[in-house]
Amino acid sequence: MSIESSTIERTNFEWPGLRSVYHGKVRDVYDLGERLAMVATDRISAFDYILPRAIPYKGQVLNQIASFFLENTKDIVPNWLEATPDPNVSIGVKATAFPVEMVIRGYLSGHAWRTYKSGERLLCGVQMPDGMKENDPFPQPIITPTTKAAHGHDMDISKEAILEQGIVTSEDWAILESYTRALFDRGSEMAKERGLILVDTKYEFGKKDDKIILIDEIHTPDSSRYFYADGYANRQAKGIAQTQLSKEFVREWLIANGFQGLDGQKIPHMDDDFVLQTSQRYIQLYELITGQSFMKADVDNMMVRIQSNVQNYLND
């Protein structure tokens, strides 16, 4: 079986009550009226571009990690999830999403480091201390929100601009910030138990019946960055790059091959070895962060499997 035949690149299901379908960078979201069905495809994106090849089992990994963490955080933050009737599908309540992503960073990595290295010390209105090295911990986690773009690039924005522009009310912002910090604390504790460090992540929230709830995925390798805890301090002391479990290695590979999503740049060819290596990294993170063995779903007739599983759930 070829790699392409064992992946889900795009879906077009017909389920009861279907109103519309939104094809995002990674997820296909089916509006079923009072519910949403989110299908985690095997597409992979970086620098806000969908890359040309899908990654085997990536969608299953993302969906199952997200449901694992939603289940393990619902005691501190209410969330949208109702059920996962298929390894690649989550179904839950529909909420009105806030047009911002709540990005929280415990360490100077990724975008924050690229900003810092350029000489800037202000990120989304937050002052970063002088004298830091890449991957050093911040004195306390910082929240660096972005606008949520339907198309194109998400943009950095400060808390002050969000409030001034009326994107979020001050009352709602206080709740979003409190939930973001509580989720990051829980995610960090769970990562530590598994020998990992939760470096940074993002959360999305919405309103349902005037109550703020957590929506979308959380603590997955698409939305988060992890380091191995073992050897972290030694690597920092020696100035050695940290071993990462995240999508950052894909971004680094793209940068090394001349692509950062800028005008005129061409996405490099992804050979089979790189695609399979990426798949294995996703599976490895699933097993590390959950402590469970990854059970590969049957990829023969995947569309029939998903159609049937969701149809049966909706008919119950």
User: What's the maximum distance between 2 C-alpha atoms anywhere in the chain?
Assistant: 59
Write out pLDDT tens, residues 227-254.
Answer: 999 999 999 999 999 987 767 788 889 9
Averaged confidence pLDDT in the chain: 93
CA-closest candidate to residue 203, choices 178, 229, 228: 178
How far apart, in whole angstroms, are the C-alpha atoms of residue 280 and residue 295?
13
Phi, psi of 39 (to 5 degrees): -100, 115
Q: Which domains does the chain have, with CATH numbers?
A: 4-95+268-315 (3.30.200.20), 97-248 (3.30.470.20)
How far apart, in whole angstroms, are the C-alpha atoms of residue 141 and residue 104?
6
The residue-averaged pLDDT of 5-22 equals 93
Please give the pLDDT value at position 150.
57
First vs last Cα of the chain: how many Å apart?
34
